[in-house]
Structure 1
Amino acid sequence: MWKQRGVSNACSIGELRLLAKRKLPPGIFDFFDGAAEDEVSLEENIQAFRRLRLLPRPLVDVSSVDLSTTILGARSELPIAIAPTGGPGFGRHGSDGAIARAAAEAGIPYTLSTSATASIERIAREAPGRLWFQAYILRNREFLNGLLARALAADYEALMITVDLPVGGKRERDARNRMSFPFRFSARHLRDFAFHPRWLLAMARHGMPVIENLIGLETQATSASRIASSVGRSYDPSFDWDRLKEMRDNWPRRMIVKGILHPDDADCLAAMGIDAIVVSNHGGRQLDGSVAPIDALPGVVASVAGRAEVWMDSGVRRGSDVVKACALGASAVLIGRATLFGAFAGLEEGASRAITIFADELERTMQLCGVRTVGEIGSGLIFRDSR
């Protein structure tokens, strides 16, 4: 069992990332940390937040601050939900459940990915909180329909459709590391693993994780030249507006669409009756050079005009980022890598530490800005240069 030394003392998501990096073989860490091509969008997602400046209002009684809000009609203790992330168990066994339990304990929603290393049913048993299921659009429609039926039977409150992955992005770190998904290891990998014996021993003891929701669906990469895009090879590039409307009509609960950047697309989704829209570029892992979601957010919010909730993800690393997103009109943000890094460093304790860091920074930023509730966070908090 790995020692969790350092997790409770981590002061930032950046420190959790470094703890995770020390524990993982380089190729495994790169799979979760990396993005597409030159990783311009990965960096821009973060820099776009840094360019935004807050305009605080002092002389407000902020001795009591309420971080709670309403997400999809129900209370959330923070304006934060856990984004879907693929393959957490390859970083550390049990990470899916650890993150889900941490989210439930914190009183925020958790999204289970189609490509998670825990099944729909297992997460429902182990982490009874607010659960959403994220569906990639598979070529095999019968298999996809079976996943949706299972999510409904397990009482997941919402379905999240990810629409920005008609094909997998060109993730060059994975190509250089000869990483496919599911992972297929070579002698080169074993050399890397030798320098991380605790990770290797854990894999030997528990066995290689399984993409449990995709058991029975062929997803193996066939050659090294396709490794970088193997994540998306089972997904359906023909998925279109008509198919999405059909899914909206057939799914009886709340529906979320993730992967939107263009205001016109958001307008169509709101007209279709989609309950929430996630402004996202997949953490920079799909189309390199795409606009940072925080920059695209105001246009989407204006286009939706209150007909659906608007959330965003990608590049969120600080509680101040959450404030900036809410000030630009987001109802909530989704975090993915942050809780992954926490779980890799210390399972549930680490994932909880990531959420706590966000909560502490969010509270402090709100106090320093002179706002007492999430609902008070408005566009006036963003500095706009009139020059």
Structure 2
Amino acid sequence: MPVITEIADLKRIYKRRVPKMFYDYAETGSWTEQTFRENTSDFSKIRLRQRIARDMTGRSTASKMIGQDVAMPVALAPVGLTGMQAADGEIKAARAAERFGVPFTLSTMSICSIEDVAEHTQKPFWFQVYTLNDDDFMKRLFARAKDAKCSALVITVDLQMLGQRHKDLKNGLSAPPKLTPKSIANMMTKVPWGLEMLGTKRRFFGNIVGHIDGIDDPASLSSWTGQAFDQSLDWARIKELRSWWDGPVILKGILDEDDAKEAVNVGADAIVVSNHGGRQLDGALSSIRMLPRIMDAVGDKIEVHLDSGIRSGQDVLKALALGAKGTMIGRAFVYGLGARGQQGVTEALEVIRKELDTSMGLCGERNVADLGRHNLLIPKGFHDAFE
């Protein structure tokens, strides 16, 4: 067994183990992938300020996200098709998050259903919804999440239409995968993955198939999905959706100061600064570059989290030092899941926590709550280089 010391170790195993179709689904952005690349590379532009001769005993990464105690301010982001990265993937990831003490967010486009995950976990998890134009389905989805005792609702607001992801189109991405000569040849090289998938009944979108009339196969699902996203979405509609849920609501996909202010106005409990992992508007700025501007605009009025580009504990530290109260990881936990199942997700979380804890100590801080811009060396123009 290889020794796992960084997220890149899990990514290498993941690439070997999972079919190309699903690896590419995770490891891709839209169009030229400029934003996808800069989500990670912009973190490296921020440097850390080393401090010495401070008592570093008794360090803690424990914190709160939307009032919930967390072992560190990191939540597992909603990722569609997680159950195709590993058999029963959402259940495995949720269990790992639960035992580690961080939130897990289930995607509407998951393979395992809300009910599946609730049945196999002990603590409440978060549930993510898209802004769809089918009110009947949406209200039933909210009710199912409430019945499953989900502790927060994450509304994704940056997907009124799909950004074009070239690799997904060329691979013919679907769940279960379409059997073509090319996909069969690739899957034949992924025997352990295939054997696990044969051993589970969960291979379709569990929150959708069987819950909408006429959706009973991949073709009908694809047709429905193409027309389901609400392109007429406005802030009045977001406010209406928020009123359907009586618990904490997080709006994910905020990348502009004015939109952050609107999120405050509609009564959101938190926002996630995110560009959908570079999978929507290519050419948009990275999340970490936009974070300071959004914090300056609304940081004292609403809880702010950051998503997109986090691959290490130092990335988490930089987001927290810029003012975020929490972060989300997507690809980082998917690498672990695809590489080694539930154990791999735990290893990804352990890697991030260790690096966060060690880096925090070397910066002269004992608690994540004390991190601030004083811990960073930020290049001139980092967040205001563009007009």
- Shared fold per TM-score greater than 0.5: yes
Matched, 1:124 2:105: no
Letter in 1 for 2:260: A
1:332 paired residue among 319, 326, 351: 326
Q: Distance in 1 between matches of 2:141 and 2:25?
A: 25
Letter in 2 for 1:312: L
Letter in 2 for 1:162: T
Provide the identity percentage: 36
Provide the alpha-carbon RMSD of the alignment. 2.1
Where does 1:269-348 land on structure 2 (aligned, <5 Å)?
Answer: 269-348=263-342
Match of 1:134 in 2: 128
Where does 1:174-253 land on structure 2 (aligned, <5 Å)?
Answer: 174-180=168-174, 183-206=177-200, 209-216=203-210, 217=212, 218=215, 233-253=227-247
Match of 2:165 in 1: 171
Are the equivalent residues in 1 in contact too, given 2:31–2:165 (CA < 8 A)? yes
Match of 1:375 in 2: 369
CA shift at 1:233, angstroms?
4.5
Closer, same or farther: CA 106–369 of 1 in aligned 2, 3 Å? same
Matched, 1:254 2:248: yes
1:86 paired residue among 66, 80, 89: 80
Letter in 1 for 2:196: A
Q: Distance in 2 between matches of 1:219 and 1:61?
A: 61
Letter in 1 for 2:36: L
Are the equivalent residues in 2 in contact too, given 1:262–1:300 (CA < 8 A)? yes
Matched, 1:108 2:68: no
Q: Distance in 2 between matches of 1:233 and 1:181?
A: 18
Matched, 1:15 2:15: no
Are the equivalent residues in 2 in contact too, given 1:103–1:129 (CA < 8 A)? no
Q: Distance in 2 between matches of 1:89 and 1:222?
A: 19
Moved more, 242-251 or 97-106: 242-251
Q: Alpha-carbon deviations, 1:199-242, whole Å to 9, x = none?
A: 2333334356111001234497769xxx8x99665322112111
Q: Distance in 2 between matches of 1:230 and 1:18?
A: 35
Gaps of 5+ in 2: 382-387
CA shift at 1:248, angstroms?
1.8
Q: Distance in 1 between matches of 2:311 and 2:226?
A: 26
Gaps of 5+ in 1: none
Q: Distance in 2 between matches of 1:98 and 1:259?
A: 26
Q: Distance in 2 between matches of 1:274 and 1:384?
A: 30
Q: Alpha-carbon deviations, 1:314-364, whole Å to 9, x = none?
A: 000010001100111100100011111111111111110000001100000
Are the equivalent residues in 2 in contact too, given 1:72–1:275 (CA < 8 A)? yes
Q: Distance in 1 between matches of 2:92 and 2:216?
A: 26
Match of 1:62 in 2: 56
Are the equivalent residues in 2 in contact too, given 1:168–1:231 (CA < 8 A)? no
Closer, same or farther: CA 231–199 of 1 in aligned 2, 3 Å? farther
Letter in 1 for 2:341: L
Q: Alpha-carbon deviations, 1:284-313, whole Å to 9, x = none?
A: 111111110001111111111322100011
Match of 2:45 in 1: 51
Are the equivalent residues in 1 in contact too, given 2:209–2:217 (CA < 8 A)? no
Match of 2:384 in 1: none
CA shift at 1:119, angstroms?
1.2
Q: Distance in 1 between matches of 2:104 and 2:170?
A: 32
Are the equivalent residues in 1 in contact too, given 2:160–2:229 (CA < 8 A)? yes
Are the equivalent residues in 2 in contact too, given 1:67–1:363 (CA < 8 A)? yes
Q: Distance in 2 between matches of 1:383 and 1:13?
A: 24
Q: Distance in 2 between matches of 1:314 and 1:233?
A: 26
Where 1:128 maps in the other structure, the secondary structure is coil
Moved more, 302-311 or 259-268: 302-311
